[in-house]
Structure 1
Amino acid sequence: MTLSYAGYADPSWLHDIAVEKLELIIDHVEQDSQHLADGEHVSGPSADEYRARVERTASFEGRVVTSVGSAERLLEQADPAIYHGQGMTCVWRAATAACRKAKLALGLPDDDTPDESECRSSCANLAYTDRDIEDVQRRRERHRADAVDPLAPKPRRDRAAAQAAQLSGIIDRHKAQGVSDAGERTA
C-alpha cells in the first residue's frame, strides 16, 4: 500500500485531475445554464454576475484536448469561478471575498477559492438560486423545530430561533428580489 502511488516515479496520474476538474466545471455550468433557461430565479449581491458568468461560459462549444497543458489552459479560460455550497452560491472574486479577508486578518494563507467554513452572510460574492433557497427552507424548518423542542436547553432553543430568523431573512429577500412592484417575476 505505501509503495502504491508514492512509490512510483511517474506522477502522471496527477494530470488526470485537471481533466476531471474541467469536466466537472463544464457539467455544472451546463446544469446552471439549463436551470436559468427554465426560469430559475437568482438573488443576492452577485446575482447579475452569476447570470453573466453562466451565460458567458455556457456558450463554450468545446475543444479537443490533447495534452494536460491544454486542459490546464482551457481550465483557466473556462472556469467561471462559481462554487455551489450549502444553501448558497459563491461567485468568487478574491478582492471582495469576506472569507478571504477573514483568513488574512487571522494571518492564515489564502487560497484562490472560497472557504465555506469562513463564509459571511454579508459577503458581496453571494448569490442565491432557487435550489439554494430550497435548502435554506429545509434548514429553517429544522431550526424552527429545535426552537420549540421542550427537551432542549433554553440556550439551544434561543440559538435555533435566531438561526431560523436569519434564514427567514434570506428567504424573504430572495422572494422580494424576484417579484416586481406589478407582481411580476423579475430576473
Structure 2
Amino acid sequence: MIQGYAGSADAGFVDEITFEQFLHRAETLHDDAQRLERGEHVSGPAADEYQARLARSRSFTGLTVTTTSQINNALANPALQIHHGALVTCVFRPATAACLQPTDRSAEPSWSRCRPSCVNAVLTDRDAANLRTHVSVLRHDLDIPGLPEPLRQRIQDRLIAHQIQLADHEASRQSTIPHQEMDSE
C-alpha cells in the first residue's frame, strides 16, 4: 500500500524507508556490540559468528552514505545480517536458514517459521529474559480449565523446549567462565 502511494510520485519516500532501515540496523549492531563488551552472554549454534559479525561491523563506523545504492549494498552485506526476534536472535544466512524453503529468496528470516535449533540461532541474555517471560505465560496457559488436550500438549512441548534452551544457555555461561579466568591469568 505504501509503495503504491509513494511509488506513483517522485517523492523519494521509498528511499526514506530504506535509509531508516539502514539506520535501525546500524544502531542495533552498535547496541549489540556495546552489550557484548559489557559482558552479555550469547549461546547457541551461531554464537561465534554473531560475535565475529559484530567485530566486523566496526568497519562501518563513520561510513558516509550518499546514495541509495550504498544503503542497499550495506543492508545486503552478510556481515550486517543480524536480526532480533521475540525469543531468539538470527545470524542470518539464507543458505542455512531453517525458516526458509529452498525456493525462498528472502533477505530476512521468516519469524513465523523460526526454529530455535537452526544453525543461525543465537540466544542472547535479552532473548533469555524474553524466553523466561514466555515460559511463565505458557505455565499460566496450562492452568486454564478446559484446555483441549491437543493444545495442552503443544503448549507443554513448547514449554519443555524453552526450558531446555534456557538450561543450555545457562550451562554454556558456566562453561565459559573457566576459559575467561584462564585467559586473564
For residue 164 of structure 1, report the CA deviation from its aligned partner: 1.2
* Letter in structure 1 aligned against 2:35: H
The question of whether the paired residues in 2 share the 8 Å contact of 1:43 and 1:127 is answered with yes
Residue of structure 2 equivalent to 1:36: 36
Residue of structure 2 equivalent to 1:5: 6
The alignment's TM-score, normalised by the length of structure 1, stands at 0.82
Residue of structure 2 equivalent to 1:143: 138
How do residues 88-107 of structure 1 correspond to structure 2 at under 5 angstroms? 88-100=88-100, 103-104=101-102
Q: Deviations over 1:107-163 (max 9, x none)?
A: x54312210111123211000000001111111111112223334334433332222
* Letter in structure 2 aligned against 1:69: S
Q: 1:35 to 1:57 in 2, by over 3 A?
A: same
The question of whether the paired residues in 2 share the 8 Å contact of 1:25 and 1:79 is answered with no
The question of whether the paired residues in 1 share the 8 Å contact of 2:94 and 2:106 is answered with no
User: Which has more helix, going by share of residues?
Assistant: 2
Name the CA distance, whole Å, in 1 between partners of 2:96 and 2:74.
25
Counterpart check, 1:173 vs 2:168: yes
Name the CA distance, whole Å, in 2 between partners of 1:91 and 1:13.
29
What percentage of residue pairs aligned between the two structures are identical? 33
The question of whether the paired residues in 1 share the 8 Å contact of 2:6 and 2:14 is answered with no
Name the CA distance, whole Å, in 2 between partners of 1:166 and 1:83.
21
Name the CA distance, whole Å, in 2 between partners of 1:185 and 1:133.
22
The question of whether the paired residues in 1 share the 8 Å contact of 2:74 and 2:80 is answered with no
What secondary structure does 2:61 align onto? Answer: coil
Unmatched segments (≥5 aa) in structure 1: none
Name the CA distance, whole Å, in 2 between partners of 1:4 and 1:153.
45
Name the CA distance, whole Å, in 2 between partners of 1:185 and 1:135.
27
Q: Deviations over 1:50-81 (max 9, x none)?
A: 01101110343222223323333444448510
Counterpart check, 1:162 vs 2:157: yes
Name the CA distance, whole Å, in 2 between partners of 1:172 and 1:143.
17
RMSD: 2.6
Name the CA distance, whole Å, in 2 between partners of 1:80 and 1:6.
27
Unmatched segments (≥5 aa) in structure 2: 181-185
How do residues 22-101 of structure 1 correspond to structure 2 at under 5 angstroms? 22-77=22-77, 80-100=80-100
Moved more, 68-77 or 84-93: 68-77
Q: 1:121 to 1:70 in 2, by over 3 A?
A: closer
What secondary structure does 2:122 align onto? Answer: strand
Name the CA distance, whole Å, in 1 between partners of 2:7 and 2:24.
26
**Equivalent pairs, count:** 178
Residue of structure 1 equivalent to 2:183: none
For residue 48 of structure 1, report the CA deviation from its aligned partner: 0.5
Name the CA distance, whole Å, in 2 between partners of 1:169 and 1:75.
33
Q: 1:158 to 1:70 in 2, by over 3 A?
A: closer
The alignment's TM-score, normalised by the length of structure 2, stands at 0.83
For residue 185 of structure 1, report the CA deviation from its aligned partner: 8.1
Name the CA distance, whole Å, in 1 between partners of 2:64 and 2:15.
16
